[in-house]
Amino acid sequence: MIKLIRRASAEARAFLQEHDDDALESATEAGRKLKTPRPASRKRSASKLDDEPRARKHAVAAEKPGRKPRFAPVTFSEEGGVRYLHFGTEWVQGAMRLRHPWRLELEYAQQMMAWLLFLDAPARIAQLGLGSAALTKFCYRHFEQSLVEAVELNPAVVIAAHSMFALPSEDARLRVTECDAWDFVSDAANHGSLGVMQVDLYDATARGPVLDSVAFYRACRDCLSEPGMLSVNLFGDHPSFEKNLKNLRTAFAGRVIALPEVHLGNRIVLAFKGPSLAFSAEQLAQRAEHIEARYELPAFDWLLKLSESAGTADFSI
C-alpha cells in the first residue's frame, strides 16, 4: 500500500459553461504521449503509459483548441504496478494496483469505509466525486444488495474511470450520474434515500474542498436516511480543515468525529444522522474482526484511531 502520497480528489467545478458533445469527442481522443510529474516525495519517476500495451495512452482534455478549459486535463502515470490519476498536476487524484483493481490502494480511501464499524451496507450508497472510481468499485463488488451511485461533473473523469481504472458498465446496481454535486444533494428526490454518502470534492490544485459550506453539508444530511452516515476526505494540515470541521458540526448538530491524519495530511471525518449510536468496545472489536475478514480492510487500526480521538474504547454519538 502506498503511504507517502498526498491525495487530493477533485470534481472540477470552477467553470460553468454548458456541457457539449464536442467535449466528449475530445475526451476520448487517444495517442498522446504522457509525462505526468510525480510528487516531490517520490524518488523514482513514473513510467510512461507507452510501456503498458493494455493502456490507452492519452491525456484527456475534454475541450476544443483555443477555448478556455472547463476542467483541468485528466492525465495518468504508472509506477511500481500502480496506475495514478492526475488532473494535469503532480497531485494524485486516485490510484489502482493493476494486479488488484478492486482493492483500495490508498490508506485514505480505506478510511473512507470506516462507517462499516457502525452501519451495515445500506440499500443506497453515493460517492460524490468519482476520481479513479476506487470507492465506487469497492462498494459495487462487496455490497451486492446496494445500489451504488457515483456523482461526477467532468465527463472526462467518467471516461477515464471506465477505460483506465476498470469501472464496470452501469447495470441495475451501478449508476454514474454526470452532474454537479450541489445539484445532486439539492434534489429533493434524493433526500432521505442514502444510507451512506462518501464525499471527496477537491479542485486540481488541492486548495480545499470545492463544496464546503454549511448549506452544502446540510443538504448532504438531508440526503441521508436514518440512521445514515457521511464520510468526508479533508486536509488536516490545510486552513480549510477547521472551516470544514466547524461547518460539518453545525450541519450535523455536533455528531462528527475526525480520524487522525494519514499520508501527508489527509483526514477522514465521519458524520452521523438518526438515532443515537452506542457501541461497547467489545461490540466494535467484533465488527472490526468481521470487516477485516470479509473486506480485507484495516478496521482494527480505524478502531484504535477512533478510540484515540474519542478518548475511550466505547463509542457513543
Q: Mind listing the pLDDT tens digit for each residue in 148-185?
A: 999 999 999 999 999 999 999 999 999 999 999 999 99
- The pTM of this model reads 0.79
Q: Look at 27-31, 100-104, 252-256 and tell me which has the smallest mean pLDDT.
A: 27-31
Q: What confidence tens digit (pLDDT) does each residue in 236-281 have?
A: 777 889 999 999 999 999 999 999 888 667 899 999 999 998 999 9
Whether the CA torsion 8, 138, 133, 180 is positive or negative: it is: negative
* Mean pLDDT of the 209-216 span: 89
Q: What confidence tens digit (pLDDT) does each residue in 124-153 have?
A: 999 999 999 999 999 999 999 999 999 999
Q: Is the peptide bond before 227 cis (omega within 30 degrees of 0)?
A: yes
3-state secondary structure of 110: helix
Identify the pLDDT of residue 264: 64
In the chain, where the domains are located: 107-316
30 has pLDDT over 50: no
Max mean pLDDT among 33-37, 194-198, 205-209 falls in: 194-198
Identify the pLDDT of residue 237: 74
Of 56 and 254, the one with more pLDDT: 254
Identify the pLDDT of residue 203: 61
CATH of 107-316, one of 3.40.50.300, 2.100.10.30, 3.40.640.10, 3.40.50.150: 3.40.50.150
Residues 6+ apart with CB under 8 A from 105: 1, 2, 82, 95, 96, 97, 134
User: Helix crossing, 299-310 with 281-295: angle to 10°?
Assistant: 150
Q: Is 141 exposed, middle or buried (0-12, 13-18, 19+ CB in 10 A)?
A: middle
43 has pLDDT over 60: no
Residues 6+ apart with CB under 8 A from 180: 11, 13, 153
Identify the pLDDT of residue 48: 31
Q: What confidence tens digit (pLDDT) does each residue in 213-227 have?
A: 999 999 999 999 999
The H or E element spanning position 225 is strand 224-235
Q: Look at 47-51, 91-95, 158-162, 293-297 and tell me which has the smallest mean pLDDT.
A: 47-51
154 and 62 Cβ atoms separated by less than 8 Å: yes
Give the single-character DSSP code of 36: P
